[in-house]
């Protein structure tokens, strides 16, 4: 029974992969995946921590940022610039302290490495395809894609500095 | 493995098609070889862009060569509900003219800007034949950014060809008219009507167009034109017909003379005259419409005068070269020496020599004059004749290797002939009744010829029937060998009159991916969530709205009343390539909007019924596209529902 289901699933996925428009396919597979997670995980879900609450301070993510060092003190000028960039480019989907279209950035550095945060800003397509946490987040947030707003590395770094001020 | 199968599949498809075809006698093996020549594997790129005029569609279509795949339709002279061009508040001024708002046009001859006689890929120009206009399309964005109306012109057909450094884009009138326009008997045409040839300067940096001067010629029909290049740079050549100056039954009356003329205009000489204050400013009225990429908004200004020049004022600037029987195309070879007059009712193809023309002028060997303009002797200027190459020659293009290719409408063929010896080298049928043909780099000193395509007027049995009307058909030929080889049929949109093509590398890298939000200077832009608002000004309501995957902000709006004029100013906050959002609201009387990343567009909505009405995104933007929607509440005209707007108020 289980194997038939699996087989059917594989078939269905292959079908989706092999035909249909790019975006449409994504949507279908998201809603499909969502169903399975709710159905399959009906009982064990109680213990499962959602990706937005998971803590992983080792994963640096995938993208141009491999290593950054944060200063001991917040660089206030940089944080102010970061707040400005954040307001212009991010508030359409993010609120500082509440879940909106995407997760809230408050306290993000208690859950993620600075590199991961910057890579998520600078390289969202690849992150949501390959990084396990980003993949989970995409599903947790109903498949709402993290838009690539093409920030410069400097601006993304400033946004990160601004995030340090959000407690 | 998979790809082998796919290739096999394609081969099978092509082979089986060929077997059922009747026009090609090639074997299966050869046919598959042809298929490879036009096959662009999924994800790979064509080597050339082709821009085909849409004729009565008023637009320009973009194709890839050699695949014949259509990439885009660029709206130019016609409203285009797909993007909102000509419907949105920002683009409506683009279609303004001295005759008011014109929603449609007849687009004819695209020509790409040049530097030093070579295609530079910055702009493409195209003429509107019916309500005379010239448009400029920016090849960074593939958007129409400027349209200038041409006064004193009617049937803007011998247009829109550029000189070798894009000093001018030239627009000649097909129909002569009274200048200035006035109420007079049609029968008094002869001697009273005039034909205006307009030289529109193009600013080197911005590309901005301005009518520098118009030459007021005798009342003939000015059919087609091409610039001199190289040695003949500084001259422009126009074919004429109806030198009989008939105003009725031209089918017969304009075919009386054994020869009509090619008008040779020394524009440098006239330019100098004008730069020294020559010519007369004449009162007139024409629109100049410019799209600003920072405000994302077009403005239309009415201009009130134009400089006109009579040929008699500038002796030595205008000559007539007799050319047999109603010449249509007027094509100049890459060296600038040969001017081909495609006499459409003539059995032979006439080629004039620029050097001989200069010589005849210098020695003042004139056969006579028409309205004070010297007529040269046909024999003095003649370089050669291609003897009986076909029936109904229309247009000629060049491959840059000493060969010319001429279309023959009546005998439905393209004939390749050699410049200098005038011998026919090859001929290939077209399906059917070919008009124009294009070689990439066509109107330039340096054709990029590997391909040539013919644009046919009649399609008939080339495709599955689609009722009485078929899309016109184009045929792609490989011209790299001695003989032309037919590679592909592909359908075209509207009726292409000429096309311009070039190597893809000239523009591919420069193609713009987004509009920078930071540069958006639209007065009604909302550049972040903080800027979104709804403002009432009397009976006008302005909604400053944003879009991003996948919501509108605001998405709940109240306080609008029946009888209001509601402006949805939609700014797309996305800054990523190929992520437009659409906007549609129920009962929209104009069209949807398709808003590019970083752009602001405005749709006016005049609600007529009380209710709560939805709006939504029309462009599938993300997995949550179907969720991209909102409501606008419309209250009775006398209600006092306050203006309110929100997004996600009840979100956790």
Q: How far apart are the first and last CA of chain A?
A: 50
Distance in angstroms (rounded) separating the CA atoms of residues B89 and B590: 10
Q: pLDDT band for position B20 (50/70/90)?
A: very low
Instruction: For chain B, state the CA radius of gyration.
Output: 27
Shortest Cα distance from B421 to chain A (angstroms)? 55
Q: Which residue has the higher pLDDT, A45 or B101?
A: B101
Contact B623 A147 (CB under 8 A): no
Distance in angstroms (rounded) separating the CA atoms of residues B65 and B51: 10
For the record, the structure tokens of A117 come out as: 């945060």
For residue A99, the chain B residues in CB contact (below 8 A) are 651-652
CA separation, residue B565 to residues B258, B547, B587, B631, B634 (Å): 62, 21, 13, 17, 12
Nearest chain B alpha carbon to A84? B528
Q: What is the mean pLDDT of residues B452-476?
A: 96
Which one, of B32, B30, B28, B29, lies nearest residue B10 by Cα?
B32
Ramachandran category for residue A108: left, alpha or beta (phi over 0 → left; psi -120 to 50 → alpha): alpha
Sorted by sequence, the CB contacts under 8 Å of residue B490 that are 6+ apart come out as B63, B68, B69, B473, B474, B475, B476
Distance in angstroms (rounded) separating the CA atoms of residues B367 and B380: 10
Q: What is the mean pLDDT of residues B329-345?
A: 95
Contact A144 B625 (CB under 8 A): no
CA separation, residue B38 to residues B34, B46, B67, B487 (Å): 7, 9, 5, 7
Checking if the pLDDT of B15 tops 50, the result is no
For residue B620, the chain A residues in CB contact (below 8 A) are 21, 23-24
Distance in angstroms (rounded) separating the CA atoms of residues B11 and B17: 10
Helix ranges (DSSP H) in B258-385: 267-275, 354-362, 378-381
Provide the pLDDT for residue B30. 58
Shortest Cα distance from A23 to chain B (angstroms)? 6
* Cross-strand partners of B327: B343
For residue B528, the chain A residues in CB contact (below 8 A) are 87-89, 91-92
Provide the pLDDT for residue B237. 98
Domain architecture of chain B: domains with CATH:
48-508 (2.130.10.10), 517-646 (2.60.40.420)
Contact A99 B651 (CB under 8 A): yes
Which one, of A109, A110, A108, A122, lies nearest residue A66 by Cα?
A122
Q: Which residue in A147, A152, A155, A159 has the most chain B C-beta atoms within 10 A of its own C-beta, making it the best mutation to test that interface? A: A147
Mean pLDDT of chain A: 81
**B573 vs A: CB within 8 A:** yes
Which one, of B388, B234, B627, lies nearest residue A141 by Cα?
B627
Pairing of strands B413-418, B403-408: antiparallel
Which one, of B256, B237, B236, lies nearest residue B246 by Cα?
B256
Domain map (residue ranges) of chain A: 1-44, 49-165
Q: What is the mean pLDDT of residues B158-178?
A: 98
Which residue among B514, B546, B623 places its CB closest to the CB of A26?
B623
Checking if the pLDDT of A117 tops 50, the result is yes
Nearest chain B alpha carbon to A26? B623
Checking if the pLDDT of B637 tops 90, the result is yes
Provide the pLDDT for residue B147. 98
Provide the pLDDT for residue A4. 54
Q: pLDDT band for position B605 (50/70/90)?
A: very high
Ramachandran category for residue B222: left, alpha or beta (phi over 0 → left; psi -120 to 50 → alpha): beta
Which residue among A30, A88, A98 places its CB closest to the CB of B527?
A88
Q: What is the mean pLDDT of residues B131-139?
A: 98
Range with lowest mean pLDDT among A12-21, A93-102, B327-336, B581-590: A12-21
Are B633 and B557 within 8 A, CB to CB?
yes
**B531 vs A: CB within 8 A:** no
Distance in angstroms (rounded) separating the CA atoms of residues A97 and A104: 5
Q: Which residue in B5, B623, B624, B648 has the most chain A C-beta atoms within 10 A of its own C-beta, making it the best mutation to test that interface? A: B623
Q: pLDDT band for position B49 (50/70/90)?
A: very high
Phi/psi for A20 (5° steps) reads 95, 160
Can you point out the beta strands (E) in B391-539? 393-398, 403-408, 413-418, 424-429, 434-438, 451-456, 473-478, 485-491, 499-503, 533-537
Are B330 and B339 within 8 A, CB to CB?
yes
Which residue among B551, B626, B652 places its CB closest to the CB of A99?
B652
Which residue among A27, A147, A148 places its CB closest to the CB of B623?
A27
What pLDDT, in 10s, does the model give residues B233-284? 999 999 999 999 999 999 888 888 899 999 999 999 999 999 999 999 999 9
Q: pLDDT band for position B582 (50/70/90)?
A: very high
Q: Tell me the residues of chain A between 40 and 99 that have a Cβ less than 8 Å away from chain B.
A: 87-89, 91-93, 98-99
Provide the pLDDT for residue B346. 86
* Cross-strand partners of B541: B536, B566
Shortest Cα distance from A116 to chain B (angstroms)? 20
Q: According to the 3-state scheme, what is the secondary structure of B225-270?
A: EEECCHHHCCEEEEEEECCCCCCCCHHHHCCCCCEEEEEEEEHHHH
Half-sphere exposure of B58 (CA within 13 A, CB side): 19
Q: What is the mean pLDDT of residues B127-148?
A: 98
Q: pLDDT band for position B360 (50/70/90)?
A: very high
Provide the pLDDT for residue B347. 84
Mean pLDDT of chain B: 94
Q: What is the mean pLDDT of residues B436-463?
A: 95
How is domain A49-165 classified at the architecture level of CATH? Orthogonal Bundle (1.10)
Which residue among A99, A145, A150 places its CB closest to the CB of B549?
A145
Distance in angstroms (rounded) separating the CA atoms of residues B48 and B499: 13
Q: Which residue in B518, B548, B619 has the most chain A C-beta atoms within 10 A of its own C-beta, making it the best mutation to test that interface? A: B548
Provide the pLDDT for residue A41. 45
Chain CA centroid to CA B367, Å: 38
Are B565 and B540 within 8 A, CB to CB?
yes
Provide the pLDDT for residue B2. 47
Q: pLDDT band for position A67 (50/70/90)?
A: very high
What is the sign, positive or negative, of the torsion defined by CA atoms of A125, A126, A129, A134?
Answer: negative
CA separation, residue B288 to residues B31, B74, B149, B223 (Å): 51, 20, 6, 24
Checking if the pLDDT of B10 tops 90, the result is no
Q: What is the mean pLDDT of residues B140-151?
A: 98
For residue B575, the chain A residues in CB contact (below 8 A) are 89, 147-150
Provide the pLDDT for residue B170. 98
What pLDDT, in 10s, does the model give residues B470-514? 999 999 999 999 999 999 999 999 999 999 999 999 999 999 999
Checking if the pLDDT of A1 tops 90, the result is no
Q: What is the mean pLDDT of residues A137-160?
A: 94
CB pairs below 8 Å between A and B: how many? 71
For residue A121, the chain B residues in CB contact (below 8 A) are none
Q: pLDDT band for position B443 (50/70/90)?
A: confident
Provide the pLDDT for residue B255. 86
Q: Which residue has the higher pLDDT, B464 or A41?
A: B464
Checking if the pLDDT of A19 tops 50, the result is no
CA dihedral (A123, A125, A130, A133) in degrees, to 10, reads: 80
| Residue entry with tokens 């949109």 | B493
Which residue among B573, B623, B626 places its CB closest to the CB of A92?
B573
Pairing of strands B318-324, B221-227: unpaired
Q: What is the mean pLDDT of residues B524-552?
A: 96
Checking if the pLDDT of B17 tops 50, the result is no
Contact A23 B514 (CB under 8 A): no
For residue A91, the chain B residues in CB contact (below 8 A) are 528-530
Range with lowest mean pLDDT among A141-145, B107-111, B168-172, B202-206: A141-145
Query: pTM of this prediction?
Result: 0.88
């Amino acid at each position: 029974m289980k194997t038939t289901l699996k087989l059917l699933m594989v078939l269905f996925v292959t079908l989706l992969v092999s035909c249909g428009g790019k975006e449409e396919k994504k949507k279908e597979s998201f809603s499909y995946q969502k169903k399975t997670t709710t159905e399959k995980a009906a009982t064990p879900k109680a213990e499962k921590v959602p990706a937005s609450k998971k803590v992983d301070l080792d994963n640096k993510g995938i993208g141009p940022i491999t290593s950054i060092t944060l200063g001991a003190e917040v660089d206030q000028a940089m944080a102010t610039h970061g707040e400005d960039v954040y307001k212009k480019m991010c508030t359409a989907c993010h609120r500082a302290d509440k879940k909106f279209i995407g997760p809230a950035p408050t306290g993000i550095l208690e859950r993620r490495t600075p590199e991961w945060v910057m890579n998520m800003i600078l390289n969202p397509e690849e992150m949501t395809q390959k990084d396990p946490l980003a993949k989970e987040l995409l599903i947790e947030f109903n498949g709402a894609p993290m838009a690539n707003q093409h920030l410069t590395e400097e601006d993304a770094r400033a946004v990160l500095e601004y995030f340090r001020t959000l407690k | 493995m998979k790809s082998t199968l796919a290739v096999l599949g394609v081969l099978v498809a092509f082979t089986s098609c060929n077997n059922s075809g009747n026009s090609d006698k090639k074997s299966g093996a050869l046919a598959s070889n042809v298929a490879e020549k036009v096959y662009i594997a999924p994800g790979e790129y064509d080597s050339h862009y082709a821009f085909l005029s849409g004729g009565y569609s008023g637009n320009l279509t973009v194709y890839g060569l050699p695949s014949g795949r259509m990439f885009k339709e660029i709206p130019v002279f016609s409203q285009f509900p797909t993007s909102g061009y000509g419907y949105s508040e920002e683009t409506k001024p683009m279609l303004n003219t001295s005759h008011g708002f014109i929603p449609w046009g007849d687009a004819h001859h695209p020509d790409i800007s040049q530097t030093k006689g070579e295609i530079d890929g910055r702009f493409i120009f195209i003429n509107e034949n019916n309500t005379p206009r010239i448009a400029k399309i920016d090849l960074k964005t593939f958007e129409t950014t400027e349209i200038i109306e041409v006064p004193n012109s009617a049937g803007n057909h011998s247009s829109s060809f550029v000189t070798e450094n894009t000093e001018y884009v030239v627009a000649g009138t097909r129909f002569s008219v009274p200048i200035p326009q006035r109420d007079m008997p049609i029968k008094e045409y002869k001697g009273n009507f005039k034909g205006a040839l307009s030289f529109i300067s193009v600013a080197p940096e911005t590309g901005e167009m301005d009518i520098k001067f118009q030459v007021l010629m005798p009342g003939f029909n000015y059919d087609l034109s091409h610039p001199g290049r190289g040695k003949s740079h500084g001259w422009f050549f126009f074919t004429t017909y109806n030198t009989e100056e008939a105003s009725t039954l031209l089918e017969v009356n304009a075919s009386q003379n054994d020869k009509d003329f090619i008008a040779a205009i020394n524009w440098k000489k006239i330019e100098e005259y004008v730069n020294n204050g020559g010519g007369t400013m004449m009162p007139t009225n024409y629109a100049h419409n410019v799209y600003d990429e920072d405000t994302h908004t077009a403005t239309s200004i009415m201009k009130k005068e134009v400089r006109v020049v009579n040929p008699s004022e500038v002796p030595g600037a205008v000559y007539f070269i007799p050319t047999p029987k109603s010449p249509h195309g007027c094509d100049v070879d890459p060296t600038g020496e040969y001017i081909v007059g495609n006499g459409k009712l003539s059995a032979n193809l006439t080629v004039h020599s620029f050097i001989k023309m200069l010589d005849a002028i210098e020695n003042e060997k004139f056969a006579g004059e028409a309205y004070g303009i010297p007529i040269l002797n046909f024999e003095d200027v003649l370089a050669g004749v291609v003897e009986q190459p076909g029936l109904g020659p229309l247009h000629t293009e060049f491959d840059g290797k000493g060969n010319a290719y001429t279309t023959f409408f009546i005998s439905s063929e393209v004939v390749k002939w050699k410049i200098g010896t005038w011998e026919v080298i090859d001929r290939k049928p077209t399906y059917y009744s070919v008009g124009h043909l294009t070689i990439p780099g066509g109107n330039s000193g340096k054709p990029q010829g590997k391909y040539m395509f013919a644009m046919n007027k009649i399609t008939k049995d080339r495709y599955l029937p689609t009722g009485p009307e078929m899309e016109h058909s184009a045929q792609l030929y490989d011209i790299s060998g001695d003989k032309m080889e037919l590679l592909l049929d592909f359908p075209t949109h509207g009726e292409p009159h000429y096309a311009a093509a070039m190597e893809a590398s000239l523009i591919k890298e420069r193609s713009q991916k987004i509009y920078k939000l930071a540069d958006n200077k639209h007065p009604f832009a909302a550049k972040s969530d903080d800027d979104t608002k709804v403002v009432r000004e009397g009976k006008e309501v302005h909604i400053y709205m944003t879009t991003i995957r996948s919501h509108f902000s605001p998405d709940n709006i109240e306080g609008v009343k029946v009888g209001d004029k509601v402006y949805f100013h939609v700014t797309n906050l996305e800054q990523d390539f190929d992520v437009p959002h659409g906007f549609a609201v129920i009962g929209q009387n104009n069209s949807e909007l398709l808003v590019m990343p970083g752009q602001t567009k405005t749709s006016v909505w005049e609600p007529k019924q009380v209710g709560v009405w939805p709006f939504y995104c029309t462009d599938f933007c993300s997995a949550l596209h179907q969720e991209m929607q909102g409501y606008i509440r419309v209250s009775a005209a006398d209600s006092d529902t306050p203006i309110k707007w929100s997004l996600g108020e009840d979100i956790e």
